[in-house]
Structure 1
């Protein structure tokens, strides 16, 4: 049994990015349009990754988990938390779009406040989900249901897959990296993350090195 599921490792990537945005927005240099565009580009990736993750849970993960005995009422509750998170994500999306246009101190502060609320509701959801679902993932590692679930999640194009792996591994701990890469053959991962993750490494990763 692994130390953590891939799902929990993805959650760690979400938490990292939320912390990164809050730190960057708190230190945003007013009037710096280059930095505003850089943060907006990183935001577009984060927005896409988080949206795909919670939508994929509803469409793919929940049916698999229900087959493994997870209560439907719990999954309905988690979906309601997804809805709350999606509303906060939409508010943050609007705030980050405004900052990209103005690069003003006021809009940086507004974006910081929006993402702070997004962080609050997201972390609350992630902690609830992990408490209830992580033991199920670990106890059923290698089961037919989870293997089938993994195949469904893997049905993405190489560009999307490469960006996902580059993002999820950016700043991951050794345990998180092992959880993310453990189900993908190393030669396949080398091509997907190495070749198709270049866009992330070129346009997003430098945002957090600035």
Structure 2
């Protein structure tokens, strides 16, 4: 299914999303372990962040399952079918680990002890390890070929799927997090389908919102 160069998906925004997931899951186990037993206020901050990243990851994978893999199998299954099937199976494994970590997160949030925090940290480590493997396969074997089979409009619909389902009050933080990992051209790409007002305001509000948020979440253990 050939597309003109201007109508092809530009996958650079997904590389930024992947990097955000890798970065957060590399840091979260240590952030959890650093919380002092009984510090419910600090545990709530960390738990809220962990839940936000889990929700974002779940929505990201749901979008791929519903909007990306079917198109690739239909249009390029002879080239990509085996890899897409592997990635789909890994989504199932990752979903199981997300459920496990979410359950342990709820226990730790309610009773933030070292005894409850360590199983959560180990669960997050397992999730991060599988996710790193998964993202590596996707970036090496799938994303370079996606523009041959997916239009720019279809690609933007995939990105909008996750963003539109996140809480609106978290969007400046999410955008700021992604923008902190992207160059100016990719930031422009991420905002290309946004309404005018967010397109104008997010480059100003997002980085400031994320800077404040990151200090609150990460600096106590930096």
Residue 154 of structure 2, aligned match among 137, 140, 148: 148
Q: Deviations over 1:56-114 (max 9, x none)?
A: 00111223434552523322211100001111111111111111011101111111111
CA RMSD of aligned residues (A): 3.3
Quote the offset at 1:159 in angstroms: 6.4
Distance 1:51 1:158, change over 3 A: closer
Find the counterpart in structure 2 of residue 118 from structure 1.
127
Displacement of 1:130: 1.0
Alignment of 1:54-93 (within 5 A): 54-66=61-73, 69-70=76-77, 71-93=80-102
Gaps of 5+ in 2: none
Q: Tell me which residue corresponds to 2:200.
A: 190
Deviates more, 1:95-104 or 1:177-186: 177-186
Change (3 A) 1:169 1:190: same
**Correspondence 1:189-208 to 2 at 5 A:** 189-191=199-201, 201=210, 204-205=213-214, 206-208=216-218
Mapping of residues 98-117 of structure 1, within 5 Å: 98-117=107-126
Spell out, residue by residue over 1:159-194, the C-alpha distance to the aligned partner (whole angstroms, 9 max, x if none).
64673563254273344x643542424954333576
1:13 aligns with 2:23: no
Aligned to 1:22: 29
Q: Secondary structure at the match of 2:76?
A: coil
Q: How far, CA to CA, are the matches of 2:210 and 2:188 in structure 1?
A: 18
Quick one: distance in 2 between partners of 1:194 and 1:157?
Answer: 20
- Name the TM-score, length of structure 2 as normaliser: 0.76
CA distance in 2 between counterparts of 1:35 and 1:190 reads 34
Q: C-alpha distance in 2, partners of 1:3/1:144?
A: 9
Deviations 1:119-158 (A, max 9, x none): 1111111111111112124x54xx8623223135425649
Aligned to 1:44: 51
Q: 1:133 to 1:168 in 2, by over 3 A?
A: farther
TM value normalised by structure 1:
0.80
Corresponding pairs, count? 204
